[in-house]
Amino acid sequence: MPPTSGIGIGIDRLAMLMTGKPFIQEVLFFPQMKPEVKAPKDKAEKYMELGFPEEIVPILQKAGYNLVSSLAEQNPQKVQQQIGEIIKKFKLEVTKPSVQDLAAWIANVPAPTAAE
């Protein structure tokens, strides 16, 4: 094939230009997949041992408290607000616990050790 003159731009580079994306991985149709890293989660039983009701555990984990130790020294009012926001957002039929209940449950959480 004879040499050609001009610009040989690929569809992927053209898509980068049109969408303003800085990396080609963001516009590839089949990007190379990275393995998903899953955050460690404690089982519901571990929360329930400390007094948390079973229906609150998935809400706490959705709020980012995947480990019981992550609740240590948290402000109960902040946790209650986060729980209330999740209940409202997902229209869950769960009653929001009181700040006093949360304070009592959080008081049972052992302080995290150096290994955690």
The mean pLDDT value of the chain amounts to: 87
Q: How far apart are CA 62 and CA 7, in angstroms?
A: 50
pLDDT digits (tens, 9 = 90+) for 5-20: 666 778 888 888 899 9
- Look up residue 81 and give its DSSP letter: H
- State percent of the chain over pLDDT 70: 85
> What is the spatial distance between Cα 1 and Cα 95, in angstroms, rounded to a whole number?
73
Long-range contacts of 50-57 (CB under 8 A, 24+ apart): 50/105, 50/108, 50/109, 51/104, 51/105, 51/108, 52/105, 53/97, 55/94, 56/83, 56/94, 56/97
For the stretch 94-114, pLDDT in tens is 999 999 999 999 999 988 766
CA distance 83 to 67: 16
The pLDDT tens digits of the residues spanning 16-35 come to 889 998 888 888 876 666 66
DSSP class of residue 1 equals -
